[in-house]
Structure 1
Amino acid sequence: MVWSNDKAVAIAIPEDLLETAGASADGKMLQVRVAKGEEAMLGDLSSKNGHVIFTPLVSLTRGLLYEVVVNNKVIGTVKVPLADAADAPVVLNVYPSSDTLPENLLKIYLRFSTPMREGESLQHVALLDQNSDTVKNVFLDLQPELWNKERTVLTMWLDPGRIKRDLIPNQKLGNPLQKGKQYTLAVANNWKDNRGLSLKEPFTKKFLVGTRDELSPDPKDWQLKIPSAKTNAALVISFGEPLDKFLLDETIRIIQEDNAGVAGRIEVTNQEREILFTPVDNWKPGKYRLVVQSILEDLAGNNLNRPFDRDTKVKTVKTDKPIYERTFEIKQPVSLP
């Protein structure tokens, strides 16, 4: 078995075994299939250190037995072992992390400890009402699902057709969430990761539904706690409301007077209501710009340019600014007499 990043990626077959079975040393006439199956797996053959390496197009699955076949005769088997149950995956976080969410909440993020199996989230994730009954037709059934490249963060959209009030699904079914009611997001522990291990335990998050959020975030209303020069203390930016956690990681930059970016680390804190920007090097005295991409959203999907659910009967001025900016000044620390 050939392993890479804790995954079985190929099968190594000794060349002398192939020759004994009547196959050439280059692996011609060789097939690999799931035990008791009839279809040969597709893959590539290579040679290394006296072995023919079979690398399948589809990854080998933990717990399955595979047969090595030459001239329709099984010459060997190999089983991919199950992962250690002690290393079972868990739900690390759910965002938004606040216990009170807007009635027109648009997205929920699930963050796992290991890469999970894709395409089956709606089999394992449910929204329960105050009576522990499953609320139907809440989430969009997106295929492919919206995972990060590491397959550890899943974005689940509540049905926008039920959130936008001028659309038929909203008029027929109403909003997915109802103001003043409590809900439970439930993740079942039969969801497996890419290694075949089920979640170590089920996960639940209770939250209360508040009023609709119909206003776009406005950077000019944000509060800045500005550090002194000659320190690398954090610049604290408070939004006055929770914003989208993962967009916050991607949409905010600090620019110096010479237009050079300030290298630093962003930490999202206070239930996504503020960030701490800590520079790599000490702050220099001078003027800076806080630059924010307009795609940044609040929990209802309102971005900096426009609300997600706007009244189509009311004419508004269309804004398509790519970025928003605010200036601030880093000053020398005050010297005491």
Structure 2
Amino acid sequence: MRWRKLLGGMAFAMVLQVATAGPSEPRVVLVQPSGAVAPANLLRLSVVFDAPVEGAVLPRIALSHADGRPLQEPFLQQELWSPDGKILTLLLHPGRVKTGLVAREQLGPILSAGDDVVLTFDGHLIKQWHVGPVDATGPVASAWKLSHLRSGSRQPLVVTLDGPIDGRDVDYLAVVGAADRLVEGKAQLQEGETTWTFTPVAAWQPGEYRLVVRDTLEDPSGNRLGGHFETPIGAPQSRATVTAIAFKIGPDSSSSGRAGLERSD
């Protein structure tokens, strides 16, 4: 009888322990830029978790040199979360990224070309970058290359970009067909956000298509498709535009056209 009571007590204790255990800590599944190299004028990065995170996360994140020396005050003290609470976007302090500002003059730039830096969460390494040169050019749609497509297939359209774009801008590109009808499908960014792929829901049909790109698409340094982050204060702002790259799918294959600009209202 005593051993039955003992086992019963142990089982109750195990149930109590499971019932009172807290939820497992969300894991980091992706950091963007996801490539091995980040520009010296990196403006933003995103941390993707597998579940929503409770409480402030910024105090738990650190950016340091590869040898462990911390970078002084690299982030703007603001957490930008996706609606589902799983993606945190952090801004490196713009006043230290952009040249000619007081913060940069006093504290210096955050990153320097040739450095190796690491990003940690709760002291655990989640990403490492080699710092490349400053990227002041931004995306150039006319340099993008589109893959060939077969009519009747659902093979993905692969767009090789001229450089990485912001990881949160995957839906800033879309494919439209006849009568500007949106082609339904799934878009992804791959290879360090240098490649955009689009897999249609239905098979490709022969005809004329356009890859349409929002003018607010940016690279990780804040350079837009139609403007640069380092634009001087007081410079005239460019009008909103939509970039469209035309391509045609024939009975067997496609041929891509050149990029064109369309004015939007």
Q: Shorter-chain-normalised TM-score: which range? A: 0.7 to 0.9
Is the Cα–Cα contact under 8 Å of residues 139 and 162 in structure 2 kept in the other structure? no
- Does residue 173 (structure 1) correspond to residue 112 (structure 2)? The answer is no
Is the Cα–Cα contact under 8 Å of residues 163 and 309 in structure 1 kept in the other structure? no
CA-to-aligned-CA distance 1:296-335 (integer Å, 9 cap, x gap): 111111011111123559x6x742224211111011117x
What residue identity is the alignment partner of 2:190? Answer: T
Q: Name 1:239's counterpart in structure 2.
A: 161
Percent same amino acid at aligned positions? 29
Q: Name 1:37's counterpart in structure 2.
A: none
What residue identity is the alignment partner of 2:220? Answer: L
Is the Cα–Cα contact under 8 Å of residues 158 and 197 in structure 2 kept in the other structure? yes
Is the Cα–Cα contact under 8 Å of residues 108 and 156 in structure 1 kept in the other structure? yes
Is the Cα–Cα contact under 8 Å of residues 118 and 125 in structure 2 kept in the other structure? no
- Does residue 230 (structure 1) correspond to residue 152 (structure 2)? The answer is yes
**For residues 171 and 89 of structure 1, what CA distance do their matches in structure 2 show?**
38
- Does residue 130 (structure 1) correspond to residue 130 (structure 2)? The answer is no
Aligned positions of 1:69-218 closer than 5 A = 81-83=20-22, 87-118=24-55, 120-142=56-78, 145-188=79-122, 202-218=124-140
Higher fraction of helix: 2
What residue identity is the alignment partner of 1:113? Answer: D
Task: Flag structure 2 segments of 5+ consecutive residues without an equivalent.
Answer: 1-18, 254-265
Q: Name 1:41's counterpart in structure 2.
A: none
What residue identity is the alignment partner of 2:183? Answer: V
Is the Cα–Cα contact under 8 Å of residues 91 and 203 in structure 1 kept in the other structure? no
Which range moved further: 220-229 or 128-137?
128-137
**For residues 322 and 101 of structure 1, what CA distance do their matches in structure 2 show?**
28
Aligned positions of 1:45-56 closer than 5 A = none
Q: Name 1:272's counterpart in structure 2.
A: 193
Q: Aligned with 1:258: secondary structure?
A: helix
TM superposition shift of 1:277: 0.7
Is the Cα–Cα contact under 8 Å of residues 125 and 187 in structure 1 kept in the other structure? yes
**For residues 299 and 139 of structure 1, what CA distance do their matches in structure 2 show?**
14
**For residues 113 and 233 of structure 2, what CA distance do their matches in structure 1 show?**
23
What residue identity is the alignment partner of 2:76? Answer: L
Is the Cα–Cα contact under 8 Å of residues 109 and 155 in structure 1 kept in the other structure? yes
Is the Cα–Cα contact under 8 Å of residues 107 and 299 in structure 1 kept in the other structure? yes
What residue identity is the alignment partner of 1:226? Answer: H
**For residues 266 and 113 of structure 1, what CA distance do their matches in structure 2 show?**
20
- Does residue 321 (structure 1) correspond to residue 240 (structure 2)? The answer is yes
**For residues 242 and 295 of structure 1, what CA distance do their matches in structure 2 show?**
15
TM-score normalised according to structure 2 size? 0.83
TM superposition shift of 1:205: 1.6
**For residues 193 and 116 of structure 2, what CA distance do their matches in structure 1 show?**
21
Is the Cα–Cα contact under 8 Å of residues 129 and 135 in structure 1 kept in the other structure? yes
The list of structure 1 runs, each at least 4 consecutive aligned residues, that deviate by more than 6 angstroms after superposition, is none
**For residues 172 and 150 of structure 2, what CA distance do their matches in structure 1 show?**
24
Is the Cα–Cα contact under 8 Å of residues 103 and 212 in structure 1 kept in the other structure? yes
Is the Cα–Cα contact under 8 Å of residues 263 and 279 in structure 1 kept in the other structure? yes
Larger radius of gyration: 1
What residue identity is the alignment partner of 2:167? Answer: K
What residue identity is the alignment partner of 1:241? Answer: G
Q: Name 1:65's counterpart in structure 2.
A: none
How many residue pairs match? The answer is 235
Task: Flag structure 1 segments of 5+ consecutive residues without an equivalent.
Answer: 1-79, 190-201
Greater RCO structure (CA 8 Å; 6+ sep):
2
**For residues 240 and 217 of structure 1, what CA distance do their matches in structure 2 show?**
7
Q: Name 1:31's counterpart in structure 2.
A: none
